[in-house]
Amino acid sequence: MKTDWLSYAFVAFLIVAWGSAFGLTTVALEGFSAVETSFGRTALAAVVVAAVAIISGQGVPNTLLEWRWLSILGVVGLAAPVTLLSWAQLSIPSSVASIFISSVPLFVLLASRVILHEPVSRRKWVGFAIGFTGLVWLAGPSAISQVGAEGQTIAQLACLLVAIGYASGGIIIKLMPSIPPFRATAGTMISGAVFLLPFGYSAFETALGAPTVPLIALIALGILPSGIGQNIRYIVVKRKGPVFMSVVGFLLPVWAGFVGFFILDEPLTLHTVSAYAIILGGLLISRDRVKKV
* CA separation for the pair 206, 198 (Å, rounded): 15
Q: What is the pLDDT of residues 164-182, one digit of tens each?
A: 999 999 999 999 999 999 9
* Nearest to 29, CA basis, from 211, 257, 228: 211
pLDDT attached to residue 147:
61
pLDDT attached to residue 129:
92
Average pLDDT, the chain: 87
* Nearest to 134, CA basis, from 288, 286, 289, 244: 286
* CA separation for the pair 240, 49 (Å, rounded): 23
What ranges do the domains of the chain cover? 5-286
1-15, 107-121, 193-207, 253-267, range with the lowest pLDDT: 253-267
* Nearest to 146, CA basis, from 101, 103, 102, 93: 93
Q: Is the predicted pLDDT of residue 293 greater than 50, yes or no?
A: no
Residue 213: alpha-carbon gap to chain centroid: 23
Q: Is the predicted pLDDT of residue 291 greater than 60, yes or no?
A: no
pLDDT attached to residue 144:
61
63-72, 83-92, 148-157, 165-174, range with the lowest pLDDT: 148-157
* CA separation for the pair 200, 97 (Å, rounded): 23
**pLDDT band at residue 271 using 50, 70 and 90 as cut-offs:** confident
Count Cβ atoms below 10 Å from residue 257 Cβ, excluding itself. 19
Q: Is the predicted pLDDT of residue 275 greater than 70, yes or no?
A: yes
Q: Which residues contact 70 (CB under 8 A, 6 or more apart)?
A: 61, 176, 179, 184, 187, 188, 190, 191
* CA separation for the pair 216, 226 (Å, rounded): 14
Q: What is the pLDDT of residues 116-151, one digit of tens each?
A: 988 888 899 999 999 889 888 887 766 666 666 656
291, 121 Cβ separation under 8 angstroms: no
140-149, 237-246, 282-291, range with the lowest pLDDT: 140-149
For the whole model, what pTM was predicted?
A: 0.84
Percentage of the chain exceeding pLDDT 70: 91
Percentage of the chain exceeding pLDDT 90: 56
Q: Is the predicted pLDDT of residue 1 greater than 60, yes or no?
A: no
Cα-based angle 168, 173, 177 (whole degrees, multiple of 5): 140
Which amino acid type is present at position 213?
Answer: V
